[in-house]
Amino acid sequence: AASRVFAFRDARWAPDPVLEPSAAVRTPQPVPLVIDNGSFQTRAGWASADPAVPGERARGGAGAETQVGNDLGSPEPLRWLLRSPFDRNVPVQLELQELLLDHVFQRLGVASQGCVDHPIVLTEAVCNPLYSRQMMSELLFECYQVPKVSYGVDSLYSFYHNKRQNWPCSGLVISSGYQCTHILPVLEGRLDAKNCKRINLGGCQAAVYLQRLLQLKYPGHFAAITLSRMEEILHEHSYIAEDYIEELQKWRSPEYYENNMHKMQLPFSNKLLGSTLTSEEKQERRQQQLRRLQELNARRREEKLQLDQERLDRLLYVQELLEDGQMDQFHKALVELNMDSAEELQSYINKLSLSVEQTKQKILQAEVNIEVDVVDSKPETPDLDPLGSEQSLEDVESINEFEPLFAEEQPEVEKPVAAVQPVFNLAEYHQLFLGTERIRAPEIVFQPSLIGEDQAGIAETMQYVLERYPKEQQAILVQNVFLTGGNTMYPGLKARVQKELLEMRPFQSSFQVHLASSPVLDAWYGARDWAVEYMTREEGWITRKDYEEKGGEYLKEHCASNVYVPIRLPKQAPRAAEALAPSRTLTSSTGNPCEQA
C-alpha cells in the first residue's frame, strides 16, 4: 500500500535562459524562426539543419502584466490573475501576443527593437478566422518588420513530421489540445476544411472537472486541491478506459479498488499547535497576544493623532490669514476647505483641538496601562478595557477577535495538563484517494455529457465526419487515423479509438491508428522540417508585398496550411445601370410593388 502513495511534485517553472544565437542563424541567409503558438505552451526555435544551432525550446504561455511564461515561477498564487492572448485556441488579445513575442525574441537573442529580419513560421488554429490572421499579420509586418511569414496548422505539421515512407497521403487526424479537440480529414495531402469538426473540450476542462470532483469528495482540503496539482494527476495518474461502463464495474470490486487506487499525499505539518502547552505557556501566549493588541491600538491612535494634527495646523493657518487681513487668500482657502464662514472654521478648529487632546490622553493612559500590565497582570480576567468608555470602535473589534480564545482556555487552567495524542493518522488524513476519478476526468472527450456539455464526443464526431464521404474515401481515411496533441498522451487512448472504429466500421474492414512519436512537440518539429525544406521556395510564404497588396488576411496555401477563403464583397452595379434605374422605376410604377422594391 505504501508504494501507491505519491507525493505532489509542485514543480516550479524555471525562468527561460537568454540564448546567444550562433553565426549560423544569419549566414549565408537569415534562418527562419519557428513558433508553435499554443494556448497552453509556446514553443520557439530556429529552423536549421546545422547541429550547432539550438533547436526547440518549450516554454509556458503568457502571464500577467510584464511577467511572461516561466518567469512567473509558480503560477498557482496568480492563477486567476493570469491573462492570455487566446480565446479558446484563437489569439484575440494582440497586445498580449506582442508581449509573448517580445519574450520569445529576447530569449532567443533576437533584437526586436528595430526589426526582426528572420522569416517567421507560425502555427494557427484550424479554420482560423480571417480577422485573427489579419491582426497577427499586421503585428508581424508592421511592428516587427519581418521579411516574410508562413502560417500552418499545428496538427498538420505533426502529421507531416510523422509521415513514414509507406504511409498514405490521406488520413484522419484527431488533434486534442488544452482547449479544443479537432477531427481533420486529409485527402491527397491537403486539408478538407469543409468537413473539419471541433469539440470545445480539452485538457483544461478535464482539469477543472477533476478539481470539482475532488473538492466535493474532500471539502476539508478545498484550497489544497489546485489546478496545477490536478494537471499533474491527469498527466501521471489518469488513463482512458477501453470500455467505460465495464471499467466502472471493475472499480466496484473492493479488491480491484485496493489494487488500483492511487493515494496522493498533500503537504502537512506534524506539529499540533496547542496540544501539549502547559498553563504557564498558555498564560504567556495570552500576554503576548494582549501586548500585540495594545501595540496595534497604540499605532492606530498615533496615526490618527498625526492626521488630526495636520488638519488642525491647516485650519490654524487659514485662521491666521483672517487675523492678518489677507481676505482674498482667506476666502480662497475657505472654498478649498468647502466651508462657508469664519464661524464654521472656528467650530472645526475647536472640534479638532478637543479630538487631539483626547487622543493624547488615551496614548498616555495606554502607556501607563502597559507598564502596569507587565508588572502585575491577571490572566483570568485580562484588562481588555484600559481606556474605559472612551475606547474606539477598532479597539472593540480587535478585542472581540480574542474573546473565543480566552473563553476556551480559561477552564483549562485548573485541569492537569496531559499530552493529547491524535486519534487518527495525520498523514492519511492529508491523502487524496484516486479511484474512478482516474478515468472519469479524461472520459469527457468521449462523453461531454458528464460535465453537462451538449456536444458530441470524439467517436460520434469521427463517425459523422466519415459519413460525409463515399465508402471508398472512408476506407482510405481510416487506413491512417493519426492521434496528436498534448491531450492524447493518456494511456489507453489508442486502444479506445481502435475499439470505437471497430464498432462503427463494416465487418472485416481494416483500419490503422497511429500515435505521434511526441504528441506535444511534433507540431514544432514538423514546422521546422517544412521551413528547412521550403526555405528557398516561394510556396507558402507571405511576403511584405503580398501583405500590402492583398491584406493581412491573405494566406498562401501549402501542405500543412489552412484553406484560404478570401472575403467576397458584393459586386457594385455599373454606373450606366444606376443611371437607368430611376427611369425604369418611373415607367413601371403601375406594376407589382414587390418588383419595384
Element (H, E) at 182: strand 181-187
290 part of a folded domain: yes
**Residue 114 pLDDT more than 80?**
no
3-state secondary structure at position 415: coil
Say if residues 182 and 197 touch (Cβ distance below 8 Å). Answer: yes
Please tell me the predicted confidence (pLDDT) of residue 67: 72
Name the helix (H) or strand (E) containing 7.
strand 5-7
Could you give the CA distance from residue 252 to residue 192 in angstroms, rounded to a whole number? 44
Cα 557 from Cα 106, distance rounded (Å): 30
pLDDT value at position 170?
92
The number of residues making up the chain comes to: 597
CATH of the domain at 94: 3.30.420.40
* Residue 193, domain member (yes or no): no
Gap between the Cα atoms of 153 and 82, Å rounded = 26
Residue 435 is assigned to a structural domain of this protein: no
Lowest mean per-residue pLDDT among 197-201, 305-309, 509-513: 305-309
Taking residues 470-483, what's their average pLDDT?
A: 95
Classify residue 320: in a domain, yes or no.
yes
3-class secondary structure, 372: helix
**pLDDT tens digits along 135-169:** 999 999 999 999 999 999 999 999 999 987 667 78
Q: Are 272 and 15 in contact (CB under 8 A)?
A: no
pLDDT of residue 586: 39
Instruction: Tell me what pLDDT residue 64 has.
Output: 35
The amino acid at 246: E
Furthest C-alpha separation in the chain: 113
Separation CA 437–CA 237 (nearest Å): 10
Three-class secondary structure of residue 542 per DSSP: strand
Q: What average pLDDT is seen over the chain?
A: 83
Q: Give yes or no for residue 562 having a pLDDT over 60.
A: yes
Residue-wise pLDDT for 189-226, tens only, equals 899 999 999 999 999 999 999 999 999 999 999 999 99
Residue numbers of the domain that contains 121: 23-165+521-550
Q: Are 483 and 517 in contact (CB under 8 A)?
A: no
Which of 335, 370, 405 is at the close of a domain? Answer: 370
The neighbouring-strand residues paired with 321 are none
Predicted pLDDT of residue 199: 96
pLDDT band at 263 (very low <50, low <70, confident <90, very high): very high
pLDDT at residue 140, rounded to an integer: 95
Q: What pLDDT score does 275 carry? A: 52
CA 65 to chain centre: 13
Does the residue 418 lie in any domain? Answer: no
Number of structural domains in the chain: 2
Per-residue pLDDT for 274 more than 50?
A: no
Which of 79 and 158 is assigned the larger pLDDT? 158
- The C-alpha cell that represents 478 in the structure block: 481510416
How confident is the model over 554-575, as a mean pLDDT?
82
pLDDT of residue 412: 44
Rounded Cα gap, residues 464 and 195, in angstroms: 9
CA angle 322, 328, 334 (to 5 degrees): 65
Poorest-confidence range of 291-300, 392-401, 478-487, 494-503? 392-401
Least confident of 2-6, 110-114, 324-328: 2-6
User: Is 237 inside a domain boundary?
Assistant: no
Position 573 pLDDT exceeds 70: no
pLDDT score recorded for residue 237 = 96
> Looking at 311, 343, 370, which one is the last position of a domain?
370
- CA geometry: angle at 13 spanning 11 and 18, to 5°? 150
Q: Which of 370, 389, 411 is the last residue of a domain?
A: 370
Q: How far apart are CA 569 and CA 439, in angstroms?
A: 50
What are the cell numbers at 499? 475499439
Whether the predicted pLDDT of 428 surpasses 60 = yes
Q: What's residue 380's pLDDT? A: 44
* Better pLDDT: 270 or 292: 292
- Peptide linkage before 30 cis (omega within 30 of 0): no
Closest CA to 118 of 9, 225, 241, 27: 27
> How far, rounded to the nearest angstrom, does the alpha carbon of residue 564 sit from its chain's CA centroid?
31
Please tell me the predicted confidence (pLDDT) of residue 254.
Answer: 94
Residue 570 has pLDDT above 90, yes or no: no
Q: Which residues contact 505 (CB under 8 A, 6 or more apart)?
A: 478, 511
SS3 392: coil
Instruction: With cut-offs at 50, 70 and 90, classify the pLDDT of residue 277.
Output: low
Check if the beta carbon of residue 484 is closer than 8 Å to that of residue 173.
yes
- Give the residue among 223, 156, 165, 229 at the shortest CA–CA distance from 190: 156
In a domain, residue 97? The reply is yes
Cell numbers that stand for 1 in this block: 500500500
CB of 515 within 8 A of CB of 164? Answer: no
Distance CA 24, CA 19 (A): 14
Long-range CB pairs of 94-102, under 8 A, 24+ apart, other chains included = 94/135, 94/136, 94/139, 96/62, 97/62, 97/136, 97/139, 98/139, 98/143, 99/62, 99/66, 99/68, 100/37, 100/42, 100/61, 100/62, 100/68, 100/69, 101/35, 101/139, 101/144, 102/68
CB-based contacts of 48: which residues, under 8 Å, 6+ apart? 24, 25, 31, 532
Reduce the DSSP state of residue 264 to 3 states and report it: strand
C-alpha 195, offset from chain centre: 31
Q: What are phi and psi of 488, to 5 degrees?
A: -105, 15
Q: Does 594 reside within a domain?
A: no
Q: How would DSSP label each residue in 427-490?
A: HHHTEEEESTHHHHTGGGGT-GGGGT--S--HHHHHHHHHTTS-HHHHHHHGGGEEEESGGG-S
516 half-sphere exposure, CB direction, 13 A CA radius: 30
Q: What is the pLDDT of residues 359-400, one digit of tens each?
A: 888 888 877 765 555 444 444 444 444 444 444 444 544 445
